[in-house]
Every structure is written in C-alpha cells, then in structure tokens.
Amino acid sequence: MKVIALFALVAFAFALSWPKEYYLHGTMSMPYVNLTIPVAVDEKNGQQMVDIYDGKQKTFFVPNTGLYTSYIAKDHRECTIATDGEQVPVLPDMTLFKKLDGTVRVNGVVCDHYRYQPTQYQRICHYDLYVNHQTQAPVQFKMLGQNLIWGSHYDIYVLDVDTFVAGFSKRLDFDLPSECQNVHTEEPVSGAYAMLQSFFSTPIASETGDAAFDSFAAEHGRHYSASEAAHRRAVFEHNHAYILATNAMAERNDPTALVLKVNEHADKTLKEVLRGSTGHNARVRDETLCNHPDYTYSAARNTPASVDWRVDGVVSPRVPDQAFCGSCWTFGATGAIEGRIAVAKSKKTGAPVEAVVLSKQAIVDCFWDTTNLGCMGGTGEAAFHWMWSNKIALPTEVEYPYLGVNDYCHFDTSASAAPTIDGCAMISAKDVKGLKQAIAEGPVSVAIAVPMSFVFYDHGIFKDNSCGQEHADLEHAVLAVGYGSLNGKDFAIVRNSWSTHWGNNGYIYMDITDDYNNCGIATEAKFPTVSV
C-alpha cells in the first residue's frame, strides 16, 4: 500500500541541499492502511512544529527540552512531553543519493531523478527522490523495498509535495499552547508522530552486518539514527531468537503446531507493542454497565460443533488496522455489533445479510470518561453502555471514517428513535463453555493478555501458558468470530485489528481445549443485544 505526501514547488539555491528553515505541507497514507494524513512542518533555529490532520495533533520540538504533543480529548485539548524525543528529519540526506540520467514526469512536473540504493544482504531496496527540473524543489520521495528472506510483498512509501517554502514563513505557530505550559505528564513518543519519525528518518547508509536485521529494516522501511540502531538490532536479535526457538519445537506436518514469524513488531519490546498497538484499559469488572444478566453456559442450549461467522458476510471480510491509535476496544465493540445485527437481520429475512461496517472513529471522538480515552484506550463494555443508555445511533464507517487520532465529535449524540443497540450482556467470567455458546449466537468482543508469542503469531493453534487470565492481565480487545476443532484441539477463531499482514490473514486460532481460558479469552467477554 502507498504512503503519499505533497509539497509546493518554489525555487531556492541551485545546489541540491535543503534550507535549514522551511515550511512544508502535504498528505500521507500508511502502508497496509487506507489512511490519508495531512501533514505540515515548519522549522527554524533547530525548532520544529509538526501539524497532523490539520491541527488535530500538534507536536513541538524544543531543543534541550523535548517534544510536546497537544491532542484533542473529546471537547478540549491536553498535552504530554517526551524529554528524550527527537525532531522528525523530513528531508532526506542528499549525500547518499546519486543523480540518474535524463528527466521523468512526476505529478505532471518534469523532474530530475535521484536514487539511493543500499547494497545490503539479500534484499532489494531503493529510495527515489524527484525534484523539479527547473527549480530543484522536491516533488516526490519514494521508498520501495522487498524482503527476500521472509517476505513476498513490497513496502511502498511515497511522499508528494503540495507546498514547500524555503526560509522561515511562520505559517505554523511555534508558541507552546496553553495546555502545554508547565506540563509534567511524561509520555514516550508514540502514535502518528512516531510513525512519521519512522518514515522520514534518513535511510541507513550501510548494513549492520546482521543479515536478518538488515533485511527486516529494508522490508519495513526502518530508518534508525546511529544512536538507536544498536538498540533496535539487540531487540530484534532477541525477538528473532525467540521466534526461531519456538518454531524449532513445532512438529512437522502438524497443522495445529504453533508457528511464529518475523513481522513489523520485530524491533520492538513487548512494552512498546502494548503501548502502540493495543488499548484495552484494565478496570474492575463492572456488570452494571450492561442491562442484561450475565450470560452463563446452559446444557439446555444447542451448541453446534463448529461456527464460523465469516461465512455469508456476517463478519466484514476486511480485517481492520487500528494503526498507531490505542483503539482496539472500539474495533472489538463495533465488530460484535456489526455481526449481531447481520445475524438478526438474516434470521428475520431468512436470507444471508452482509455486515455494515460501523464507525470506530465516532466512539474514539465522542465517548470519553475517566478510563475511556479515545486513542489512549478504553473498554468495549463501557462503549456498549454509552450506546444503549444514551440511545446512540452509531454512524457507518463511510459516514464517519477512521483517522487513527483523536478528533472533536462530529455526529449527533442525542437520543435516537432507532439506536444501534438496545443493551449488552457480559459472559460469566472464565466461562469458556458459555463463551462458545455466545459465539454460536453471534460474534463476541473479548479482551486478552498479549505475550510475545501472540505478537509474532503466524499460524497453527495458539496457546501460551505464561500469559495471565485475570482481569488485570488483559491488555488487548479482539473479536471472537467462531470456534472449531482440529486433531483433537478445540480453538476459538479470533480477528485482530492489526491488518491482514499480521497472523493468519489477520486472524489467530486460540486453543480452548478442555475449556482452557487461554490468555484470559473468557475473563471479560461481552456482546451487544440488538433489535431489527
């Protein structure tokens, strides 16, 4: 998938070198994710201000102080600081690039073509920069890489420019806003700004000597500073060794054997993965959030041997990606609602009904309280309570698309005559049999603990006895869409929100043999009730 950004073409010095002060504006989209991100950058005297999504998130780099991030918190703005944060190096280091012969037309502009092509072990990777032939202003920056050890797909990053002004223009306000005055809330760099840092960082000039690490960095477009490269290599080597050791124990020709793979998280610690790619805020179990009694296993119910709600479109075929926002809880909640509505309509009409994808961003923006904080996490049962108790009619994904950052609320949250759900029910804690019966009636939102084996899951039936099963252990919200058995092992079919490039096309098969509460899958399960 492409990443796109645009700059305005303005003449500056004839030599291809970048000014120390400039203003830049463009748009960006992430690999794997259908997101378009407007970005603006202003730099002067070592200071930098980065505006993401037209002011929705603003980051200020102050030398010798750190990075201040101002973000929307429902109806006001708040701020955090990362004292060890670094500014985004937006324009590439041209000492690495070689000018190619001739000109090419890019975005309707006749351009000179510069390329940097590292010669690193077992990979193809090149960086292309296109500049206006007459003005030498940047038009497009593109990275294309293919991994030859693990990967089959290309990573493509494209930067296209709509406004670029050499010299300080003060189009962005460098003054720290009021919410960032005297702020003491220390938070590591994360979210959209961390993604921009990864994209814009200068390409590494040479291989590290570790073939696996170099290939990983090429495939995933990793650009490390000299100070960070050694740390990331050490983290990668630890994770890579863990993956190899786990796979060595897998029995050949056993389709249930757990197999892991190197993926985009391989240079991250578990703490970093949890901070950037989950978002379930653990809290004391509160059944009062739902208006129905706990759902408990009953021998009187008919429990089919297997269920898969992906069939007939009850579950949307598009596996979502929460990207750099801790919004997993909204994906688990809306996935359960979408599926339950489709099941109810199908029963009513007697014909298959495909799920209508609902807006996650509407929940991120409009539902806030002390523990439900948009991209900083929340819980599915609290989202259900907000919807049913306030008679909320949730918009569709088309009507209110996903951004991956907090924004102000943009839809009518007043009581509706046709609310999306009319209630919810929690499944009795750790009742795996009850969970299966609930899944037989429709998709269920579940919360789980996340060990490293989950992060690097590829295929097979997943089981990790080391992860916790208690409420406080739960870190990530996902969607249970079915269950079945294979070679004597029972499993739940679970959809993650990390795109199809994670796991088994975005899914994981979690072992629930002998009613095992694997990573707490049945500790905090819940589903909405609907009327159609």
496 is known as an active-site residue: yes
Give the three-state DSSP class for 114: strand
Q: How far is CA 145 from the centre of its chain?
A: 21
Are 138 and 91 in contact, with CB atoms under 8 Å apart? yes
Q: How many CB atoms lie within 10 A of CB 390?
A: 14
DSSP string, 8-38: ------SSS---SSEEEEEEE--TTS---EE
Token code pair at residue 298 = 């009953």
Give the three-state DSSP class for 409: coil
328 is known as an active-site residue: yes
Active-site entry in 223, 265, 280, 476: 476
- How does DSSP classify residue 513? G
Active-site entry in 325, 328, 424, 467: 328
Are 161 and 140 in contact, with CB atoms under 8 Å apart? yes
What's the rounded Cα separation, in Å, for the pair 202 and 472? Answer: 40
What's the rounded Cα separation, in Å, for the pair 502 and 509? Answer: 13
- Write down how long the chain is: 532
β-pairing, 526-529 with 423-426? antiparallel
Amino acid at 411: F
180 is known as an active-site residue: no
CA nearest 316: which of 348, 381, 360?
A: 360
What's the rounded Cα separation, in Å, for the pair 113 and 138? Answer: 10
What's the rounded Cα separation, in Å, for the pair 468 and 322? Answer: 24
Q: How far is CA 219 from the centre of its chain?
A: 18
What's the rounded Cα separation, in Å, for the pair 354 and 227? Answer: 50
Active-site entry in 223, 496, 518, 519: 496
The residues annotated as belonging to the active site are 328, 476, 496
